[in-house]
Amino acid sequence: MKKTTVINSDLSRVISQMGHFDTLAIGDAGMPVPATTEKIDLAVTKNLPSFIDVVTNIISELEVQEIILANEIRTNNPSQLTAIQKLFPDTKISFIAHEDMKKDLKDAKAFVRTGEMSPFSNIILVSGVTF
């Protein structure tokens, strides 16, 4: 059995295949995912698992050099933005329109669906390198 923190087999596979500048998206239960993007659905019920818990788990194994958030999180979910900023204190944050984020999901290696039920709880992680 795997000893590290990400034990979901699909999620572990995607993280292990990530290269520099590849992207992995994580989002709330309502985010539409393009049919061409792999969806790893972790949602069990409302708010289980939470967005922050899933992001925290993923970044324990994925080297992240930049994160991308929707502009709308600033006004529609500032508490979630604060939680994200605490997880990524030294990481570059870019903001784009939510509509653009939805379009960018087509380029992500995968989209991880959580049970989160708060607005604009979506993030794109840009993979870094460990050297």
User: Would you say residue 98 lies in a domain?
Assistant: yes
Q: Which residues contact 2 (CB under 8 A, 6 or more apart)?
A: 12
Domain with 97 in it:
9-127
Is the pLDDT confidence value at 14 over 90?
Answer: yes
pLDDT at 17 over 90: yes
Q: Is residue 1 part of a domain?
A: no
Residue 1: predicted pLDDT: 78
CATH of the domain at 115: 3.40.1650.10
Sheet holding 39-41, edge to edge: 39-41, 110-113, 23-27, 123-127, 64-70, 92-96
φ, ψ for residue 27, nearest 5 deg:
-155, 180
Q: What stretch of H or E contains 100?
A: helix 98-104
Q: Is 28 annotated as a binding residue?
A: yes
Rg (CA), the chain: 14
Count up the domains in the chain and report the number. Answer: 1
Q: Residue 94 falls within a domain, yes or no?
A: yes
Q: Is residue 3 part of a domain?
A: no
Q: Is 118 annotated as a binding residue?
A: no
| Residue of 7, 16, 20, 75 with catalytic role | 20
Identify the DSSP state of 18.
-
**In this structure, what are the phi and psi dihedrals at residue 124, rounded to the nearest 5 degrees?**
-115, 125
Which of 108, 120, 105 minimizes the C-alpha distance to 23? 108
Domain membership flag for residue 95: yes
Each residue of 75-117: pLDDT tens digit? Answer: 999 999 999 999 999 999 999 999 999 999 999 999 999 999 9
Q: Tell whether 122 is in a known binding site.
A: yes
**Active-site residue, 20 included:** yes
| 3-class SS letters over 45-98 | ECCECCHHHHHHHHHCCCCEEEEEEECCHHHHCHHHHHHHHHHCCCCEEEEECH
For 36-80, write each residue's pLDDT tens digit: 999 999 999 999 999 999 999 999 999 999 999 999 999 999 999
Model confidence at 2, in pLDDT bands (50, 70, 90)? confident
